[in-house]
Structure 1
Amino acid sequence: MDYKEREVIDALKLTINQFKVPVQKRFKKADDANKLWNAALLFSKVVKESKPFTRLFSRGDFEEFTNQYNLKYSTNIDGPNLFKKFWLREVLGFVYITDAVRVVTNDYEKYNNLKNEVFFLRCLFQNYPEKTIEKSVFAETVRLYEVENDLKISEEWMANTNWVKPSIEEDILKIGNVDYLFNLLDNWNDFAFLHTFKKQFQKRQERKFEIDSKILTQTRWVKLNYLSFNIV
């Protein structure tokens, strides 16, 4: 058999293999379990009797979440306004955070515990449009801001942040483009709310379904250690 005949045969085998029905492998442990205690029937009954979790937020769910948030944190989040600004979208009856807004919620998570510092940076940026400041003036500006606003600025964070860093000139600090954070700072409470909503949304996505433990007791199902469902 020459190489041309071999190529034809190999091509024919490849064509035939495309139409073969794939063989489904069964793990021995699962096969044994099915024979010993009818595992397939058990799991099918569990699925049938289980209640699926609500994994998405309907408009009603979102409104309830907003009301509870406002009560808990004594805020006044305007849900309809977030939809008007297209920060939230309702798709097929479910509420989603838009991609651009989700990015800003990530910034909120990053600076959540640095609120005093990032608001000070905005003040600094607005008062020094040339984006440079002498080190001695910077230290005095921090002190005055703390006194006027009755708060503390983290010296350690300020010393290590890239928003304010040494320049080529001695005793001169460069102020970064803090205006990137202005959208977050101007809507701090809204993004705090959206960050909380995002976390709750993600938490719902991790849910599967639940089954009432009474059903298991009544039907005398056994081998519950094999199950990975939430039993309530």
Structure 2
Amino acid sequence: MKTKTRVAIQGIKASFHEEAAFKFFGQDIDTVECNSFKETCDKLEQNDADFVVMAIENSIAGSLLPNYTLIRDFGFAVVGEVYLAIQLHLMALPGVKFEDIKTVTSHPIAIRQCIDFFYDYPHIKIVESNDTAACAKRIKDEQLLDTMAIANSLAAELYDLNILERRVESNKKNYTRFLILKKERKDEGKEINKASICFQVEKRYRINLLLNILTRQTPKQ
């Protein structure tokens, strides 16, 4: 029997990281849940995972600089990337109506991306948590009848929740770029069309020298 590809993600099943993993590898994978990005790297380093899917930048929030540091420090190879549209929905237990809701919970970034929606509902208490999918799971596990989560449709499907409102994010063009990391690169004849450069300068003003060099190397149009 063919062994499933083990993919380490930050978060739990039905998180955006797993959605990105499904988009790249397909759904026939073994998801390795981790509590932090550092833990995903540890799993890959210890051969407890074959790949890591790691968010690296968001079109609204910007770059996740600590993740660049992890990639550099562990020396992993970047073997792919995924662009994922971040679509956020409000979900609750079956039978619960929007007017029953007293609390909404999600990851702080997801909440900020939907904050415009809640200006019209000041009576709803907003509670931050560590993971979008974990919020959906908690509603199911604890049978919370007055609480809804902000998460993706994958979480609603996995945790048997009904979507009360779709696409509540303020910016409908919100994308996150995820990198696919592997312990060692094996190109296997594949064409490589992208490269990344990591560097540092000794003093702040030296950046001008670097920019001058890059300018001289840029081909004239």
TM-score range, shorter chain: under 0.3
Of Structure 1 and Structure 2, the greater strand share is in: 2
Higher helix share: 1
User: TM-score, normalised on structure 1?
Assistant: 0.21
The structure with more radius of gyration = 1
